[in-house]
Structure 1
Amino acid sequence: MPADLSPIDKAKFAAARRAVDLIEDGMRVGMGTGSTAAWMVRCLGERVRQEGLRLQGVPTSTRTADLARQVGIDVVSLDEAKWLDITIDGADEFDRELNLIKGGGGALLQEKIVATASDQMVVITDASKEVNHLGAFPLPVEVIPFGWQTSRALIEELLESMDVLGRQTTLRLNGSQPYVTDEGNYIVDLHLNRIGNARQIALVLNQIPGVVENGLFIDICDMVIIGGSDGKVEIRDINDGSIANEKVDFAEDDNIFHDME
């Protein structure tokens, strides 16, 4: 592994490398969005090239689709795949029940659709993303552009009755303009600091007119793989309650790093 990678990138790579070992020939695979998921796509592409692994990849954003094609993965739509064997994605936060906050990369809508259309969702991450209570990372809420300020006001009104520590909301920007998702929507980030009842907020936010989806992934994740900068990984399976510790071996001449040069 190149020495100039940061400890966080080394941890992300370790988790990604271990996660792609779960992929078997002929699988239909959901591919997440973000820096950690990008490591997974590169590792998966390496298996496709080296082993002739056959699979169909369903991306959760145009960024992921572009990268997947670059590394040789057969990209199809969710409608073409219909149902997925597994989805591998990152997360902005996760708790001990493997509930998540996602959407820091702006792809929460497609990510949630793809994850729930899968037999198994696996999250790859590093230890810094684990929290006792969700909410330190701003909760993304995707809203349609029409009347977005009204939707935001309704969200702020709702938060007055919710068990949260903070209630500030901000429109996500791309420079001086609103950030626009692949679906042409805006994102309002909720700075809640601590969420007392994530399940409740996930349900009620989606009842607000103009809200398309929120970044709380409740009872969706089946397994989390936590990577370390030394190649060690911890694998937690919420379904059987198991925790396993393993070591991922990687060398500086791994093809994945040559592809990045």
Structure 2
Amino acid sequence: MSADMTPADKAKYVSARRAADLVENGMRVGLGTGSTAAFLVRRLGEMVRDEGLKIRGVPTSTRTADLARAEGIEVITLEQAGWLDLTIDGADEFDNDLNLIKGGGGALLQEKIVAMASDRMIVIADAGKHVETLGAFPLPVEIIPFGWQATRKLIEELLISMDVQGHDTALRMASESPFVTDEGNYILDLDLKRIGDAQQLAQALNQIPGVVENGLFIDICDTVVIGYDDGRLELRDLTKGTIVREQLDLPDRDNLFTDIAK
């Protein structure tokens, strides 16, 4: 394990490596987006090359697709897959009921579509992503560019009647221009601080004209693999109601994951 890796990177590595063990030969696997998911894709690539693992991956973004192909993973579309056995993705936050906030990487729409088209969704995360109540991480909302200012105003008006602590909204930027998703849309980040009723908020946001999707993943995730920087990990299975604690030996050698973009 490279000394250059941060404690958070080591925790992500641990969770991703353990989750990769849950992938079985012949599976159709949804591949998430973000730094933690990139650790997973690299590990699955190793398993394809070194262990003969045969899987087909459905990426949730163009950058994940590019990485998967570079790692030797067969990439197919969701249309070609039809349905997925498993999706593994990161999260910006998760609570005790495994409800999530996702979209920090800007791919929430494809991530939610792929997750919902899977028999099972596993989240991989470091322990810092666990919260008692969602909302500390700004909630991403994907909106169409046409009339986005009006959509933003409608969202801000909605938030007044919602059980949230903050009401600030911001258009996500990429340098001097608005950030644009793979689908050509914008993202508003809602600084809510605390979300009292995540399901109610998710439903209300999606009723606003111009809103494509929001980053609240409610009742979608089945299992979370939580990694720690010392190699400890927890597998929490909501369906079984179990928490399994394990220890993963961190390799001494320089690993191949240090060049993953944050």
Are 1:103 and 2:98 counterparts? no
What displacement does 1:176 show?
A: 1.2
Note if contact 2:140-2:214 (Cα within 8 Å) is conserved in structure 1: yes
Corresponding position of 1:157:
157
Answer with 249-258 or 185-194: which moved more: 249-258
The one-letter amino acid of 1:136's match is A
Corresponding position of 1:139:
139
Q: Which secondary structure does the structure 1 equivalent of 2:182 belong to?
A: coil
Corresponding position of 2:3:
3
5+ long unaligned stretches in structure 2: none
Q: Which secondary structure does the structure 1 equivalent of 2:13 belong to?
A: helix
CA RMSD in angstroms comes to 1.3
Query: Quick one: structure 1 residues 258 and 190, their matched pair in 2 at CA, closer, same or farther if it must change by over 3 Å?
Result: closer
Are 1:86 and 2:103 counterparts? no
What displacement does 1:242 show?
A: 0.2
Aligned pairs, number: 260
Note if contact 1:137-1:191 (Cα within 8 Å) is conserved in structure 2: yes
Query: Quick one: structure 1 residues 206 and 257, their matched pair in 2 at CA, closer, same or farther if it must change by over 3 Å?
Result: closer
What displacement does 1:223 show?
A: 0.3
Corresponding position of 1:197:
197
Q: Which secondary structure does the structure 1 equivalent of 2:65 belong to?
A: helix
Task: Trace 1:18-97 onto structure 2 (pairs within 5 A).
Answer: 18-97=18-97
TM-score by length of 1: 0.97
CA deviations on 1:144-167 (whole Å, 9 max, x unpaired) are 000111111000011110000000
Corresponding position of 1:224:
224
Q: Which secondary structure does the structure 1 equivalent of 2:75 belong to?
A: coil
What displacement does 1:257 show?
A: 4.7
What displacement does 1:249 show?
A: 2.4
What displacement does 1:230 show?
A: 1.1
Are 1:123 and 2:123 counterparts? yes
What displacement does 1:254 show?
A: 6.8
Note if contact 1:46-1:256 (Cα within 8 Å) is conserved in structure 2: no
Corresponding position of 2:178:
178
Note if contact 2:145-2:185 (Cα within 8 Å) is conserved in structure 1: yes
Please give the alpha-carbon distance, in whole angstroms, between the structure 2 residues aligned to 1:149 and 1:259. Answer: 38
What displacement does 1:251 show?
A: 1.7
Q: Which secondary structure does the structure 1 equivalent of 2:213 belong to?
A: strand
The one-letter amino acid of 1:194's match is R
The one-letter amino acid of 2:6's match is S
What displacement does 1:2 show?
A: 1.3
Corresponding position of 1:207:
207
Q: Which secondary structure does the structure 2 equivalent of 1:41 belong to?
A: helix
Note if contact 1:10-1:229 (Cα within 8 Å) is conserved in structure 2: yes
Answer with 131-140 or 250-259: which moved more: 250-259
5+ long unaligned stretches in structure 1: none
